[in-house]
Amino acid sequence: MSHMEILKASGFGEAELGGGTLSVATPVDGSEIAKLSEHSVAEANAMIDKAHDAFLKWRTVPAPRRGEYVRLLGEELRREKDNLGALVTLECGKILQEGLGEVQEMIDICDFAVGLSRQLYGLTIASERPGHSMRETWHPMGVCGVITAFNFPVAPWCWNAALALVCGDPVIWKPSEKTPLTALAVQKICERVSAQFGDDAPDGLTQVLVGERELGEAMTAHKKVAIISATGSVPMGRAVAADMSKRLGKTILELGGNNAMIVAPSADLEMALRAIVFSAVGTAGQRCTTLRRLIVHEDVYDALVPRLIKAYEGLPIGDPLADGTLVGPLIDDQALRAMDAALEKAKSEGGTVHGGGQALSDSHGAAAYANPAIVEMPSQSEIMHHETFAPILYVVKYKTLEQAIEMQNEVPQGLSSCIFSTDVRETELFLSAAGSDCGIANVNIGPSGAEIGGAFGGEKDTGGGRESGSDAWKAYMRRQTNTVNYSRELPLAQGIKFDF
Amino acid sequence: MSHMEILKASGFGEAELGGGTLSVATPVDGSEIAKLSEHSVAEANAMIDKAHDAFLKWRTVPAPRRGEYVRLLGEELRREKDNLGALVTLECGKILQEGLGEVQEMIDICDFAVGLSRQLYGLTIASERPGHSMRETWHPMGVCGVITAFNFPVAPWCWNAALALVCGDPVIWKPSEKTPLTALAVQKICERVSAQFGDDAPDGLTQVLVGERELGEAMTAHKKVAIISATGSVPMGRAVAADMSKRLGKTILELGGNNAMIVAPSADLEMALRAIVFSAVGTAGQRCTTLRRLIVHEDVYDALVPRLIKAYEGLPIGDPLADGTLVGPLIDDQALRAMDAALEKAKSEGGTVHGGGQALSDSHGAAAYANPAIVEMPSQSEIMHHETFAPILYVVKYKTLEQAIEMQNEVPQGLSSCIFSTDVRETELFLSAAGSDCGIANVNIGPSGAEIGGAFGGEKDTGGGRESGSDAWKAYMRRQTNTVNYSRELPLAQGIKFDF
Amino acid sequence: MSHMEILKASGFGEAELGGGTLSVATPVDGSEIAKLSEHSVAEANAMIDKAHDAFLKWRTVPAPRRGEYVRLLGEELRREKDNLGALVTLECGKILQEGLGEVQEMIDICDFAVGLSRQLYGLTIASERPGHSMRETWHPMGVCGVITAFNFPVAPWCWNAALALVCGDPVIWKPSEKTPLTALAVQKICERVSAQFGDDAPDGLTQVLVGERELGEAMTAHKKVAIISATGSVPMGRAVAADMSKRLGKTILELGGNNAMIVAPSADLEMALRAIVFSAVGTAGQRCTTLRRLIVHEDVYDALVPRLIKAYEGLPIGDPLADGTLVGPLIDDQALRAMDAALEKAKSEGGTVHGGGQALSDSHGAAAYANPAIVEMPSQSEIMHHETFAPILYVVKYKTLEQAIEMQNEVPQGLSSCIFSTDVRETELFLSAAGSDCGIANVNIGPSGAEIGGAFGGEKDTGGGRESGSDAWKAYMRRQTNTVNYSRELPLAQGIKFDF
Amino acid sequence: MSHMEILKASGFGEAELGGGTLSVATPVDGSEIAKLSEHSVAEANAMIDKAHDAFLKWRTVPAPRRGEYVRLLGEELRREKDNLGALVTLECGKILQEGLGEVQEMIDICDFAVGLSRQLYGLTIASERPGHSMRETWHPMGVCGVITAFNFPVAPWCWNAALALVCGDPVIWKPSEKTPLTALAVQKICERVSAQFGDDAPDGLTQVLVGERELGEAMTAHKKVAIISATGSVPMGRAVAADMSKRLGKTILELGGNNAMIVAPSADLEMALRAIVFSAVGTAGQRCTTLRRLIVHEDVYDALVPRLIKAYEGLPIGDPLADGTLVGPLIDDQALRAMDAALEKAKSEGGTVHGGGQALSDSHGAAAYANPAIVEMPSQSEIMHHETFAPILYVVKYKTLEQAIEMQNEVPQGLSSCIFSTDVRETELFLSAAGSDCGIANVNIGPSGAEIGGAFGGEKDTGGGRESGSDAWKAYMRRQTNTVNYSRELPLAQGIKFDF
């Protein structure tokens, strides 16, 4: 399909794609594919007010009925999987397999949220007073603002939206200014769902803000946005947290990762090799869960690293829409320059660089294709403490597992981590209180590719938020503790006497 | 017992109580009871480092063993209940019944935490991939800083500490500079417990910072303080949140309340009357859960309010250590002046004030005893949106329950709330998504006096934190999602194919 | 639609419907609609073996993938709702609204089970030993035999099957010999789903046994049937329990109900009236949750009961497929005779009968249409302790709520119960430890019509089983407690020393 | 201490110990230590009635207050640990370390139950109908009968009683007729606790039935015994289940085990060796979790088994009260004869027996001391499918893990199991749906010595019951699902319309 065909398949008309101020380019070849109208801050505020009106209605729609909305959304996404997957690839440059995988994640979380809509379990609790009953209930919280990044243009919205909608919260979405089209395509889907769903779906249940950073700031500033769920860089997250702290608003932060894999002597090296390559070069190294640091036991270093370097050399780089491509472009030229700079710094810190540099420079014009790089480092140097959003994999050696874990935990980020080892004493130690300090810790799989059934997110500079499965839904609701006295007495807790 | 006898019973020697720079007065008569040495910021930082060292050891002590520490703490508190209760009364001025009740709450949460120490349940989760198992585990988080306020000088520390200790986190306590003695008395108890417990209890497991605000700031500034749990005013909470947002640290905020009771036509007015008086004048109106706003249906207003005014007139005000006293002193003269100012403002907004003003001015010297005040307001005016930490109860009328709930929810705080009604249609509406927006909502009991089995805390400006029962313990731990691949294959989630 | 058209719409060919030994009549007019082949016990045993083979495969299919099977089943049921709903009505005689409602319940539980397929949560648990981790996981149990009754011919199967399939257990269904056609129609749907699902769905995942009681006995006798979930009469349940006790197999028993409503003085009598009529005459009184006993406060008796008698007189009785019918036929003539006998007994015990007797005797030939009956009783006599599967509602008076609750609890069955009262002190007492002893207790709704989100089932002679929502799924799995020692030490629990 | 001193330390007077019909011998030397009065069936029935009266009162005592009772019980057990531990050893013959460990388990479960008393969590659940709230609450169930076996004379009672008491259920205890003294000693402790606790503790809260099997049958026959929790042999469990099936009563069955360990090639053989010896000869092989079957990989067989045989030869057998003894006596001569018979059968099935036969025959008179036996078997023969309550360990070889798991699962019992392996692929497979079919499955620890935090119990012939931690407490309560309609409408579930 041509780029225009992909856009049309997602329902975009030509008028919609032109005439605005926000230029959207495809990283596939760097060409502009849309010039979109942007929302003003005033418009954003009006949309938030509308969302809040929607909230007042939506919160009293029974949760299982809200679940039906999300079920219909899941069905519509199933129907649109191919179209939306291709659009994801077109707009953010990840290979089609990953574009489709991202839509599949949207579908999965919808299925999960439907079941959740008949749960949203609070607790009934034993009371210490006769004739009293205690319980705790979770209620809808308010408007949920969702800020997403270019690298996962649609799935994180859906992790948030599927839960938020079931939890009774309307959603306003501020996508990356680099990937607004996928957001608009999803909004079209939501509008079809609302039409199908009927009157219970209030106007403004889901909305998209097209534009730059100030629209995000409009959300953090507005009292009626009860929750901000933000995915992106650590500085962005700090800014959101600071803004929200002024009004004591709730945040769900999914910020940077600097994810490591430990390869132990007992590891199955074949599996490790495959996992490393997918984790490190998938999405051209632009996943928050991308593998960035490889900590290899000295005894298996020579058996693994040369083969890895070799594997890198043969990776098919190119048009992410094309069959067989495994490495697509970076999002833009700035990303490529940042990668170059990081590799330079790594060299200056004693690293030996394999690969790196621009790829396919002739054939793809303005697009920023990069050769994935492996950098052998003498030790965990300064540059390794930073997340560079590019396919750079640093490799260091270790002697003892305790030392490897210490290296793994040394960086400020705390998103994902893994160990390749077949020794249960090592794998369980890695998962223990004295092991990885990340929100995600895996054994014999890479750091990326979480299932939606678990809670997703990380600690430290990663921001502490959790999305997706387990009880992540609680972040979208307010908890209320209730005590009901059904007796004719008025006993006080803790046995206090107060008689007048 | 004399004041000095109370101090001695809690183990204070004379040397300890003098020679320092921090003057501690008892609100009972305004006299100085101690001049304590204060910690410098440098000392605070050293104590934090020590706590972090303790953390590295404590986190690997098995949780049920950590629970044994808390069990011993509970036993010690049982033994010390009378002494510590009296000291609470001496230092913060609440009546002895309430001082003892506060210690009982400490004991209760210890018992609860002991049971918890064999739970700390994460989940095992069904994985979508063959040969994979998923689970989520909760691990110790790090040093927990606890900031408490004068009005509950010991219980909130224990809500936090009992859970934090069981969860594997050492605790550093910054009590109010008005109530450091109770904190030091509790620290003495902890030291006895540590001695009993033996080597597993590392040095620095619990520590107390004596001094002013800059010690709290030392904690928010220090990377090794993973969690700050702060009880106090909204501005304090905002400051903590802003500081912690800079380093993306975790907070548990328990800030101001502006708690209302709705009295419906069907209410049992006898019970309502008793509940109002205890909730409004208990702790001399200085509980965060104190009843501050009474929203009475117009049909029962005349049957209730005059009786209430009458009841206020007969309340025994006086020495909180004395039998029969129900209303003790305010914490200090500043509190009395703030009360006066609020009453003035209320008058200017159309209110009719009953009571108020200084009580017992002759007999108690420098102490700030106040006559509790009832203020009949024509509507919910500006002053009613503020929390004045004093025994002022504003009363307004309502016509429909929807209107009453709207008034209840109109203020910026969201801690506690209640309804007196015998009509289940009203009481359940009040507890529903369209009802009270507070963290606590009760039926036929007042807003104060929560049991430790439920989660305690509130929404909006109250800060969103939860302490005590239910799953409040999760705030003291980090969650880790694990996927273990025990197969010899490497399937990717979401069915992605990536073969090279 | 004609009866034959209804059968054809569900996919039955003529060959299939004839030639067998099991005569199936429609209660609509008593005519025979099929003569089905019956399975022998040998065939049943072979089918169980096949199901067990299916189990060995199905248990290793990841649960979310099993959930996809159930999702497809839900989709297929959505498509077939009208057809299957009509067939339910044709075969068991409930009105079309209720036939459709029953299919909706199937759909609802499928949606719920899909979400569950990414949960099936066990726990991770704090261990008392250093270097040890504890967890509990739920594993597939084995073949699940499902025995259903004529009155809910399809929904209870689906409550069981949706959960069992997600939990990893193949299902063998023994429907009532009075309603095998709906079972076969559902099996056809399952076969379409299996075809769509592909190779992961083993042969024998769902199977139907057509025939009489000995087929149920084949299941209880067979070691490879790990669980029997049986819905039906108390004697049937006792027989199943006795058989299973011989081999210590698991049972889920949903047996008789003898459900009461208490109408308190404060009740909204309009609502009570509507609830009573639906609960008492819906499904012609043949629900296990049918309202059978009405316990009315003496102060409102005269305001309620005469109106109720009047309402009964105007109920449209007739063809359940026809618009406007509210009362369809009893299942067969035997049911009508049992109803007559119960009414006779009630009279002999002092009751005054309103209604009762055969209805529409001319126009409907062999069908057993009954006039619903209200029986005013002087007290709760012997007959009221029995469940007669027919539209008989016994009415008694009460003076105090305690007395009413005692009457409610006096019968051997313990399925469902409710109170109509607007007084929260009454309603909460009814729901308390000293209130209703039933598995279901409602306030201001009738005893029937449970949502699938809650656990369904009852206590005492009702058998103690739970199906549907909450953690009812656990009955279909086996729990395993795991302790993993990842240290190099071997400490014993409880601090035992054992050195050799 | 002399035997009489041990009895006196537990509070027995001489009068109490004589004059009855039930002879109690100590396995230490076979001498009679008491002749107790037995209860008649009529007395048992009266005690059950009394327990039921206690239930009607106890169920309305708030659960945290009931928890206080159990806390006091735990404190009293701490004080009595040495005395009760010695009595356990005297009466059942296990070594003192194990006697003390058993009392520690009682203490642990009390601590756990205290925390539980402020939980007993049910759920609040999202309702599909507007203006409705759903929840599920757990209520006290009724009298709990506890039947225990001689080998754990006190801990299993406490696992049951601590939970049952907190859950609101009085307890009647039928101990083994071989170990009534420990039961009576515990009852004395309970009576002290009741006295301390005050009026809230009704008469008959805990009671002990002294006598034979017919007293157990009195409990299974009596409608007012809501739950029977029985620990013992499979035939006993089947009898209880059959009796209870007649009245559809609840059972918690903890029956026989036939527990295996798989030793894989990667196992730490040092640790395995230690674990095997403790698991196989602890309590002289008379634990339900005793290791009975050792399944060793052929590659490590020769490195392990000869050392094991050697270790057995040096085990100190003798007076269980004496320091240094690791193997005490069997319970009686019949046990010794059963052991001999099993060894004979093993030989006839091709086994090579090491050890076995009577030990210490001279010095210990009537006591039944046995030499622990190891039997090398050519394959898993008939005798290995049976549980012989004696220190016999069968050893077989395996080639593949799948084969080892198949052997492990082949026996009818399903209590406990373990694997020694350091390969996470093996250990996780062993814990998976395709792994061990037991209720307990451990890695790198033996099958015995469960912590109280997990649910204890097994599948298949082991009876399916669960006691102790996790949500085992639910078996002592009844679940109630509540829907409260607080609207003025009466919508039906599943969207059914029913208007008359």
pLDDT attached to residue C323: 92
Pairing outcome for strands B122-125 and C122-125: antiparallel
The partner residue sitting opposite A71, judged by closest CB among C111, C119, C469, is C111
pLDDT digits (tens, 9 = 90+) for B151-200: 999 999 999 999 999 999 999 999 999 999 999 999 999 999 999 999 99
Distance from CA of B481 to the nearest CA of A (A): 5
Q: CA angle, corner D97, sides to D94 and D102, nearest 5?
A: 75
Q: Is residue A123 predicted with pLDDT exceeding 80?
A: yes
Nearest neighbour of D125 by CB, restricted to A121, A136, A423: A121
E-only strand ranges, A331-372: 352-355
Among the partner-chain residues A120, A124, A128, the one whose CB lies closest to the CB of D136 is A124
Closest chain D residue by Cα to residue B424: D486
CA distances (Å), origin A33, targets A29, A262, B10, C308, D260 = 10, 42, 76, 70, 66
Q: How far is A194 from chain B (nearest CA, A)?
A: 22
Q: Which of D5, D359, D24 lies closest to D177, judged by CA?
A: D24
Alpha helices in B222-332 (DSSP H): 234-246, 269-281, 298-313
The per-residue pLDDT for B220 is: 97
Mean pLDDT of C141-149: 98
The shortest C-alpha distance from A61 to chain C (Å) reads 16
pLDDT value at residue B375: 98
* Chain D, window 468-487: residues with a beta carbon less than 8 angstroms from a chain C beta carbon: 469-470, 478-486
Residue-wise pLDDT for B429-442, tens only, equals 999 999 999 999 99
| Each residue's pLDDT tens digit, B314-337 | 999 999 999 999 999 999 999 999
Q: What is the pLDDT of residues A175-225, one digit of tens each?
A: 999 999 999 999 999 999 999 999 999 999 999 999 999 999 999 999 999
**pLDDT confidence of residue B362:** 64
Query: CA-to-CA distance for D342 and D326, rounded, in angstroms?
Result: 23
Report, as an integer, the average pLDDT of A451-478.
97
Residues in B touching D487 (Cβ below 8 Å):
425
* B139: chain A residues, CB-CB within 8 Å: 432-433
Asked if residue B95 has pLDDT above 80, the reply is: yes
Cβ atoms of residues D219 and D172 within 8 Å: yes
Q: In the predicted model, is pLDDT for residue D302 greater than 80?
A: yes
Q: What percent of chain D has pLDDT over 90?
A: 95
Mean of pLDDT values over C118-129: 97
The per-residue pLDDT of chain D, averaged, comes to 96
d(CA C342, CA C388): 7
Does residue A65 sit at the D interface (CB-CB below 8 Å)? yes
Residue C495 has pLDDT above 90, yes or no: no
**Residue of B91, B102, B254, B376 marked active site:** B254
Residues of C in contact with D326 (CB under 8 A): 498, 500
Written as one string, the DSSP assignment of C428-474 is HHHTSTTS--SSEEEESS-SS---TTSEE--EETT-S--EESTTGGG
A124 - beta bridge partners? Answer: A135, D122
Tens digits of residue pLDDT in D266-290: 999 999 999 999 999 999 999 999 9
Measured between CA atoms, the residue of chain D closest to residue B127 is D432
**What is the per-residue pLDDT across A399-426, written as a single tens digit (0 to 9) for each?**
999 999 999 999 999 999 999 999 999 9
When pLDDT is averaged across residues C273-302 and rounded to a whole number, the result is: 97
**pLDDT at residue A363 in the model:** 61
Nearest alpha carbon to residue B419 among B276, B309, B303: B276
Tell me how close the Cα of B125 comes to any Cα of chain C, in angstroms: 5
Distance of CA A291 to the CA centre of its chain: 15
Please check the confidence at residue A20 and state whether its pLDDT lies above 90.
Answer: yes
Nearest C-alpha neighbor of A470 from the set B481, B340, D252: B481
B360 with B370: CB under 8 angstroms? Answer: no
**Range 111-140 of D in CB contact (< 8 A) with C:** 123, 125-129, 132, 134, 136-137, 139-140
Chain centre to alpha carbon of residue C27: 20
List residues of C with catalytic annotation. Answer: 254
- Please state the rounded mean pLDDT for residues D374-395: 98
For C140, which residue in chain B has the nearest alpha carbon?
B126
Nearest to C64 among A117, A119, A453 (CB): A453
Taking an 8 Å cut-off on Cβ atoms, the answer to whether D486 and C255 are in contact is no
Q: Is residue A496 predicted with pLDDT exceeding 90?
A: no
Residues of C in contact with A116 (CB under 8 A): 115
CB spacing of D443 vs C485 below 8 angstroms:
yes
Nearest by CB to B431, which of A137, A437, A478? Answer: A137
Other chains touching B, judged by 3 or more CB pairs under 8 Å: A, C, D
Question: What's the pLDDT at D497?
Answer: 72
Decide if B495 and A104 are in contact by the 8 Å CB cutoff: yes
Instruction: Let me know: does C3 contact C27? Beta carbons within 8 Å.
Output: no
pLDDT digit string, tens, across residues C48-67: 999 999 999 999 999 999 99
432-461 of C, contacting D, C-beta below 8 A: 432-434, 436-445, 449-451, 453-456, 459-461
Nearest chain A residue (CA) to B277: A500
> Does the structure show a pLDDT above 80 at D118?
yes
Determine which one of D91, D98, D254, D426 is catalytic.
D254
Q: Which ipTM did the prediction report?
A: 0.96
**Cβ B441–A480 below 8 Å, yes or no?**
yes
Q: What pLDDT is stored for residue C362 in this prediction?
A: 64
pLDDT at B492: 75
- The β-bridge partners of C460 are C413
Q: Which of D394, D411, D375 is nearest to D234 (CA)?
A: D411
Mean of all residue pLDDT scores within chain C: 96
Cα angle: B214, vertex B219, B225; to 5 degrees: 175
The bridge status of strand C477-485 relative to strand D440-443 is: parallel
Q: In this model, does residue B497 exceed pLDDT 90?
A: no
Backbone angles phi, psi at B124, to 5 degrees: -100, 140
Whether the CB-CB separation of B431 and A124 falls below 8 Å is answered with no
Q: What is the four-CA torsion angle of D358, D361, D364, D368, rounded to 10 degrees?
A: 20
Indicate the pLDDT class of residue B361, thresholds 50, 70 and 90: confident
Question: pLDDT tens digit string along B368-409?
Answer: 999 999 999 999 999 999 999 999 999 999 999 999 999 999
End-to-end CA distance of chain C: 82
Using a CB-CB distance cutoff of 8 angstroms, which residues of chain A are in contact with residue B316? 500
- Please answer yes or no on whether A497 and B97 come within 8 Å at the CB atom: yes
How far is residue B182's CA from residue B188's CA, in Å, rounded to a whole number?
Answer: 10
CB contacts, 8 Å: B469 with chain D: 118
From the list D60, D137, D443, the residue facing A424 with the nearest CB is D443
CA distance A55 to A111: 23
For B83-95, what is the mean pLDDT? 97
Residues 142-181 of D with CB under 8 A from C: 168
Do B103 and B81 meet the contact criterion of CB atoms below 8 Å apart?
yes
* Whole-number percent of chain A with pLDDT over 70: 99
In terms of Cβ atoms closer than 10 Å to its own Cβ (0-12, 13-18, 19+), residue A191 is: middle
Distance between CA B74 and CA B426 in Å, rounded?
A: 40
**CB-based contact D445 C311, cutoff 8 Å:** no
Return the residue in D423, D428, D431, D496 with the most chain C beta carbons within 10 A, the one to mutate for interface testing. D496
Which residue of C60, C124, C421 is in closest CB contact with B122? Answer: C124
Closest CB from D104, D108, D245 relative to C238: D245
Q: Measuring CA to CA, how many Å separate C40 from each of B463, C216, C491, D256?
A: 68, 11, 56, 36
The answer to whether the CB atoms of B126 and C119 lie below 8 A apart is yes
Taking contacts as CB-CB distances below 8 angstroms, the residues of chain C near B136 are 124
On chain C, the residues whose CB falls within 8 A of the CB of B130 are 60-62
Residues of C in contact with B137 (CB under 8 A): 124, 133
Based on the residue annotation, tell me whether B254 is a catalytic residue of this protein.
yes
Neighboring chain A residues of B59 at a CB cutoff of 8 Å: 433-434
Distances (CA, A) of D337 to B431, D48, D342, D349: 67, 37, 9, 18
Give residue-wise pLDDT tens across range C431-473: 999 999 999 999 999 999 789 999 999 999 999 999 999 999 9
Return the percentage of chain C with pLDDT > 70, whole number. Answer: 99
Two structure tokens written together for C425: 């002190």
Contact A422 D423 (CB under 8 A): yes
